[in-house]
Amino acid sequence: MKSENRAEGAAVGQPVEPSPVKLIMAVILAQSVSVPEVRTRIEASYGAIDLSSAMLPFDATHYYEREMGPHLHRMLWSFQTLISPEALAEIKRATNALERAFACWDGRSRRRRVNLDPGYVDLAKLVLATTKDRQHRLYLGQGIYAEVTLRFTGGHFIPWEWTYPDYRSPEYLTFFEAVRRCYRQQQTARLAEARHV
């Protein structure tokens, strides 16, 4: 009887809207593509880029070379405007369309020159969007899945066993920790502003 009373009086968890998160974009670039052109198109859709990595060699895998050619590079960008985490699926679909817009015809098929991988950083993790299902990914809708690629613990981002090799590298980890610091400052300012409204 006592256990039934406890069950009846137990508090039910209430859904809470999540805080906005910081949009990031990992951009693989073929040699023939104009970085300023890609950046202009991306900023027109998602606002100003506030942090950018250097041009990094993309040599952890040769997966994209057959389509995009050799000597690929990647840049990492974060965006000043925060987004709702539930927007990630729609953003991934939109960036897939942008990839097609940047593709070129080689006489037999259209080949991508740009690969766009959106995701977001919050205080606890880096999340990436993908069209590929795996045992560690969750379905978001619209044919898009999400993967927690890095977790923040002990003052640093830490990879999982499934984290891609490039996302384990010091250059990537340093960049995403800088993105997190920027995001934390934005969150602090946003909450302070809300208290004064």
pLDDT at position 127, please?
Answer: 98
pLDDT at position 161, please?
Answer: 97
Number of Cβ atoms within 10 Å of the Cβ of 114: 23
Average pLDDT of the chain to the nearest whole number: 92
Contacts of 172 (CB under 8 A, 6+ apart): 76, 166
CA angle 6, 8, 10 (to 5 degrees): 65
36-46 pLDDT tens trace: 999 999 999 99
Residue 115 has pLDDT above 80, yes or no: yes
Structure confidence at residue 123 as a pLDDT band (50, 70, 90): very high
pLDDT at position 9, please?
Answer: 56
Contact 28, 72 (CB under 8 A): yes
Residue 5 has pLDDT above 60, yes or no: no
Contacts of 48 (CB under 8 A, 6+ apart): 79, 80, 81
Beta-bridge partners for 118: 25
Contact 178, 24 (CB under 8 A): no
Contacts of 137 (CB under 8 A, 6+ apart): 130, 145, 146, 147
Contacts of 101 (CB under 8 A, 6+ apart): 41
67-89 pLDDT tens trace: 999 999 999 999 999 999 999 99
Structure confidence at residue 175 as a pLDDT band (50, 70, 90): very high
Structure confidence at residue 126 as a pLDDT band (50, 70, 90): very high
Query: 60: which DSSP letter?
Result: S
Residue 60 has pLDDT above 90, yes or no: no
Residue 8 has pLDDT above 80, yes or no: no
Residue 107 has pLDDT above 90, yes or no: no
Query: 24: which DSSP letter?
Result: E
pLDDT at position 195, please?
Answer: 78
Closest to 130 measured CA to CA, from 99, 168, 93 = 93
Single pTM value for the model: 0.90
Radius of gyration of the chain (CA): 20
Give the whole-number percent of the chain exceeding pLDDT 70.
93
Better-scored residue on pLDDT, 175 or 31 = 175
Closest to 171 measured CA to CA, from 63, 29, 60 = 60
Q: Give me the residue label for tokens 């999540």.
A: 18
Rounded average pLDDT over 87-93: 98
Q: Classify residue 23 by burial, with Cβ atoms within 10 Å: 0-12, 13-18, 19+.
A: buried
Longest Cα–Cα distance of the chain, Å, equals 77
Residue 185 has pLDDT above 60, yes or no: yes
